Structure 1
Amino acid sequence: MAAEDPVTLWRPDWTARRAPPVTDQAAARSLREAVDETLAGIVRGSGALAVEISGGLDSSIVAAAVAARGKDQVRLWLNAWGPDATADERPWIDSLAAHLGIAATSVPRAVGRLTEDMLGQLSTGVRPGLAALDVLHDADWARRFAEAGIDGVVTGKGGDSMFVQPADIGVFADLYRDRGRRALLSRALPDLARWNERSVWTLAHQALRRHWTPQAVDSPNPLIGPRRHADIPRHPWLEDIEDLGPAKRRQILGLVQGCGLHGPSLQTRVVSVLHPLLAQPVVEACLALPAGQLTLGRRDRALARQAFGDRLPEAITARRSKGEMTAFYGHLIADGLDVLRPWLLDGRLASMGLVDVDPAGAALTREALAWRGGYVDIMTTAAIEGWVRAWERRLPGV
């Protein structure tokens, strides 16, 4: 049978372009109804549940929706706390648990040293295991779910993109694109300037510069050879969206990246890992709303905070910060450099010219990690390396 061009059945920009304007009250109602519809379906069809609660807004919204519909069906309300203060969300978990009337289980984040066997376990499926770059945590939760007889685990992942975080210059650029000069007189300009800790003149000037673009969210992985980036096709959903504002384009990019959360992991071998904030009803409800409305022109995820405020403790809806795992992952990767350096610098990707060895070698040092980070790029490349090795073993000579 001759190959045929694929037929596009759905694109996120279709929803973004065709949606009529609605009031803030109607917008908040649409978010609430979409989340409730999604969680009602999950509760009905998923058996024994676990709910991942991080202490942040998104997972709290999901937990509250589950608690309203299937509290008795949940066997674990699970949180993992890190070893330093910035990664310890237990005070927020305690507040949420008391408000919802649930018994939360907080456990220490799994620690240990990376090994080649662990890296090899990251990507044994059809696609690279980008959903579980923290293989120690993935293995620990897979074990806990299996022991508790869990059928499905519900997360709050994807909320940052769909509900729109951050509320930055790009949000005002979208607003100006929609309203023209009237945006300069809107309440959003001083509110967003205050939120971003800059003057209204600086924010407006930067947003309206002809050649200004927001910092790229899909910037190239510095470990991959620069010549190879030019050969990589963009995801079809990212094509032909230049007419949309930068914040809306970033939201669509977040959806594309969120597709990677559905990839294989040690957890998916024992439970169904469910991300309701990336389900179709929620995605379409969020895409249909301008970024300025999702932020109410004043702060990140403001509309979601308003829509679900009556279900959550004020400490969470008003919270400005969020848990930070950077130091934790920095130590994990730094302590595993003796494994990661040969894994990447002498691996199959390097032999094929896909990993640019000199920049990669410079990035894989304690000094570079301390100054520049790059943990996601490193672990993503390590996962793809493991994926190539796994399939070369399965398909020798191909």
Structure 2
Amino acid sequence: MRWSAGRYGTTEEARCPRGGHPVPGVEAAWTADWPAARVRSVSDGPVSLAVIGDCGAADDQLVSRLRAVRAGRWRELTRWPGSYLVIARDGATLAVIGDLAGQHPVYWRSHGHVLWWATSALALAALDGAPVDPTALAAHLALAQPDVLGRRSLMRCVSRVPGGHLLLADPSGARTERFEPAEYGSVELPVAAATVRAALVEAVAARCDGRPVSADLAGLDSTTLACLAAERGPVTAVTFADERLRDDDLPYAKRTAAAVSGLTHHPVPGTANTVYYDGLDDLDRLPVTDAPNAYAVTASIKRAVLDTVAAHHPAPGLYLTGSAGDAVLSAPSSYLADLLREGQHRRAWSHALGHARLRHTSAWSVLGRARPASRTDLADAWRQTAAELRGPVREWVPQASRPLAWTPLLATADWMSPDVRHQLAAALDTAADQLPDAPARLAAWSDRQDLARLGADTTGWRQLAAEQYGIALVAPYLDNEVIRACLAVPADQRGAPGRYKPLLAKAFTGAGVLPDFVLARTTKGGFNALAYAGLRENAPVLLDLLGQSSRLAAAGLVTEQPVARMLQRAAAGQPTAQGALHLAVAAEVWLRQLETAAPAWWEVTSRVAAG
């Protein structure tokens, strides 16, 4: 696993990451398993700045930002293309800044009378064997929004830096400070389009550095990245084309490869094993990730794609994925609650009509789902959720049939023991009482939470690609500058019904990057068929994972009967709480791996005074 860590303070024990390398020019900071080319630093006397990851800044740009370090203008250090961690130090002041999507998370804790920070919560827990925090894991399963419990991580005694914040340490102590606004100002879609195009061009260019390039070639998001990369050199383009999907990704991919110079296309046919939940009877094949990871469930599909990439590349290179394109380029209908809250009733009605046509329902029904969320704020919504957790378990209905919510309560919450539900409710009440600077719009909150969840999951996929294939997976839609450019556009413009990905279409129409037929596309592939096939075919394995021997069950985080009933529904082809099962299985896999395959994180080199 690639990770970074550091220390602030003086200790007699010189501890560092096992196999780690000091960050040049930065006191008491290390990287583990990061290529030297992805670790860069500059310094001037007591002022130093390091970037770790894919950072598009030239060396002279890093040097010029030393002034920002001296002045504490931290946000300026996050404006380069790419996705990276920042370590900045000015004498006794240390700032550690992750990215907006959580691909480079930051955690911290006190140990041995000093402050330790790392991009891995597991590593910090391993300093003294701190266990998993069951209430935090309950929040992960029941709410699936990383920032709900603020600074509480999945590991006891380990704090996390919430999204849009940085870790700041000085002689007065350690604290988190916000560097990113909780909500962006509004930029009209036609005005923002050029900025979005420039951000994506720079995001792809920052990665195309001579390594062999491969890319997804499926939906509009991934096709855009593949075509941008093809402007800079040859691209091995792959399309997962399992016939059970019955989508039109493959015809579009073939047509695009024929029209765009530089794209060499390879379809990836499905097999009996390319379904969800395949291979979970052998957890040794999965990398140990820092948190439960969604790609544990779809690893066989990802391996099929990476096998094809590896077969057509003379050496490992980089792989562009369109992951998170949906999250930044469009928006769910929850923005209707914001329109109602702001008194934009005519616009809300117009949009509700469009969403109703897509869902074959009435506009009144669409607005009815949105109205409760329009009448509350984030803190009160959490208090309402806490009250719901203290009440009786709900009868299951699809999430799309429930009212819109700031923090939807998932079916996993109904599988938990009463004691765990009450502990989670208490934690939510505390979080609501302590909530600082919350966004006023539901869309602003949910956009950020979706990105944080996707960023964490993509990190797990990246780990599989790196450890088993030597391939560097990159997700440009999760870059800071891409996120900023896209989310500045109001959600009701990004997600307007009747217009598919209008922001991307406006950004690239007439730019000569994408063929016109790609920009005119209005369809999108989906994996539901493979999810249901995997549920049916791997039901015995899933029943074992989440049954009597389940680690989640032992902690009261699931109970056996409701899970068994949900799997029976799946076997019968009935609607199923797929997202809830996905979360539970990934968490169970993670807990079992921590018991049997947790890596050795640290080594003690000597016992001398250190700063």
TM-score bracket for the superposition, by shorter chain length: 0.7 to 0.9
Distance across 2 between alignment mates of 1:129 and 1:172:
31
Instruction: Give the TM-score of the pair, scaled to structure 2.
Output: 0.55
In the other structure, the counterpart of 2:56 is none
Q: Distance in 2 between matches of 1:239 and 1:286?
A: 26
2:345 is the alignment partner of 1:143? no
Contact 2:200 2:477 in 1 (8 A): yes
TM-superposed CA distance for 1:106, in Å, is 0.8
- Structure-1 separation of matches of 2:558 and 2:365: 40
Shift of residue 276, structure 1, vs aligned partner: 0.4
The answer to whether the 8 A contact 2:249-2:525 is kept is yes
Q: Which moved more, 1:203-212 or 1:341-350?
A: 203-212
Which residue, out of 377, 393, 409, partners 1:219?
Answer: 409
In 1, the alpha carbon distance for the partners of 2:491 and 2:534 equals 36
Q: Which structure 2 segments of 5+ residues have no match?
A: 1-112, 116-172, 377-402, 600-611
Report the equivalent of 2:148: none
Give the length in aligned residue pairs: 379
Q: What CA deviation, in whole Å up to 9, does each residue of 1:282-324 have, x standing for no partner?
A: 0111222211232467535312221123333444333333112
Q: How does 1:354-365 map to 2 (within 5 A)?
A: 354-365=557-568
CA distance in 1, matches of 2:230, 2:592: 43
Confirm or deny that 1:284 pairs with 2:502: no
Per the alignment, residue 252 of structure 2 pairs with: 92
Shift of 1:117: 4.2
Cα gap change, 1:116 to 1:61, in 2 (>3 Å) = closer
Contact in 1 for aligned 2:336/2:370 (Cα 8 Å): yes
Partners of 1:144 and 1:339 in 2: how far apart? 28
Provide the residue aligned with 1:267 in structure 2. 465
Counterpart AA for 2:272? V
Matched, 1:52 2:216: yes
Residues 165 and 22 of structure 1: is their aligned pair in 2 closer, same or farther, counting only changes over 3 Å? closer
Q: Write out aligned runs for 1:165-314 (5 A).
A: 165-166=331-332, 168=333, 170-177=334-341, 180=343, 183-185=344-346, 189-190=349-350, 193-197=353-357, 207=370, 211=375, 214=404, 218-222=408-412, 224-225=415-416, 227=418, 228=420, 231=423, 240=436, 243-260=439-456, 261-263=458-460, 265-269=463-467, 270-295=470-495, 299-310=499-510, 311-314=513-516
Alpha-carbon distance between aligned partners in 2 of 1:121 and 1:241, rounded to the nearest angstrom:
43
Contact 1:162 1:254 (C-alpha < 8 Å) held by counterparts: no
Assess if the C-alpha contact under 8 Å between 1:174 and 1:292 holds in 2: no
Tell me how far apart the structure 2 counterparts of residues 299 and 382 of structure 1 sit (CA, whole Å): 35
Query: Is there any run of 5+ residues in structure 1 with no aligned partner, and where?
Result: none
For 2:121, the equivalent position in structure 1 comes to: none
| Residue identity matched to 2:412 | P
- Structure index of larger Rg: 2
| Distance of aligned partners of 1:95 and 1:274 in 2 relative to their CA distance in 1, 3 Å threshold | same
SS at match of 2:238: strand
The answer (yes or no) to whether the contact 1:174–1:248 under 8 Å persists in 2 is no
- What TM-score, normalized by structure 1, do the two folds share? 0.82
Which shows bigger deviation, 207-216 or 318-327?
207-216
> How far apart are the structure 1 equivalents of 2:211 and 2:324?
23
Query: Shift in Å at residue 225 of structure 1?
Result: 1.0
Tell me the CA shift for residue 104 of structure 1: 1.4
- Higher strand fraction: Structure 1 or Structure 2? 2
Is 1:341 the counterpart of 2:543 in the alignment? yes
Q: Which has the higher helix share?
A: 1
1:62 to 225, 228, 241: 225
One-letter identity of the residue aligned with 2:476: P
Is 1:294–1:302's contact at 8 Å kept on the other side of the alignment?
A: yes
Do residues 121 (structure 1) and 324 (structure 2) align? Answer: no
Residue 146 and residue 105 in structure 1: after superposition, are their counterparts in 2 closer, same or farther (change >3 A)?
closer
Q: Is the 8 Å Cα contact of residues 59 and 155 (structure 1) preserved in structure 2? A: yes
Q: Is the 8 A contact 2:183 2:439 kept in 1?
A: no
- What is the DSSP-based 3-state SS (H/G/I as helix, E as strand, rest coil) of the residue aligned with 1:222? helix
Residue identity in the other structure for 1:58: D
Q: What SS does the corresponding residue of 1:266 show, helix, strand or coil?
A: helix
Match of 2:521 in 1: 319
Q: Distance in 2 between matches of 1:121 and 1:107?
A: 21
1:142 & 1:239 partners in 2: Cα distance? 42
Separation in 2, partners of 1:31, 1:370? 41
**Structure 2: which amino acid aligns with 1:160?**
D
CA shift digits 1:133-182 (9 cap, x unpaired): 2121123234334442232111111011111233x3x334434555x3xx
Partner of residue 353, structure 1: 556
Work out whether residues 362 and 368 of structure 1, in 8 Å CA contact, stay in contact via their aligned partners in 2. Answer: no
Instruction: Tell me: CA distance 1:29–1:231, structure 2 relative to 1, closer, same or farther (3 Å).
Output: farther
SS state of the match for residue 237, structure 2? strand
| Structure showing greater relative contact order (alpha-carbon pairs closer than 8 Å, 6 or more residues apart) | 1
Distance 1:331 1:203 in 2: 31
Q: CA deviation at 1:131?
A: 3.2
- Contact (CA 8 Å) 2:477, 2:483: kept in 1 or not? yes
Contact 2:551 2:592 in 1 (8 A): yes
1:105 is aligned to 2:296: no
| 8 Å Cα contact 1:142-1:266 kept in structure 2 | no
Moved more, 286-295 or 251-260: 286-295
Distance 1:27 1:71 in 2: 28
| Cα drift, residue 326 of structure 1 | 0.7
> Could you report, residue by residue, the CA deviation over 1:16-55 in whole angstroms, capped at 9, with x for unpaired residues?
24x3x444332111111111111111113x711110122x
Residues in 2 aligned to 1:299 and 1:242: alpha-carbon distance in whole angstroms: 30
CA–CA distance in structure 1, aligned partners of residues 217 and 472 of structure 2: 17
1:164 is aligned to 2:327: no
**Does the CA-based 8 Å contact 2:532-2:573 persist in structure 1?**
yes
Q: Distance in 2 between matches of 1:297 and 1:84?
A: 28
Distance 1:58 1:85 in 2: 18
Q: CA RMSD in A?
A: 3.3
User: Could you say which residue in structure 2 is the equivalent of 1:372?
Assistant: 575
**SS in structure 2 opposite 1:42?**
coil
Letter in 2 for 1:153: Y
1:243, CA displacement in angstroms?
Answer: 4.5
State the match for 2:590 in structure 1: 387
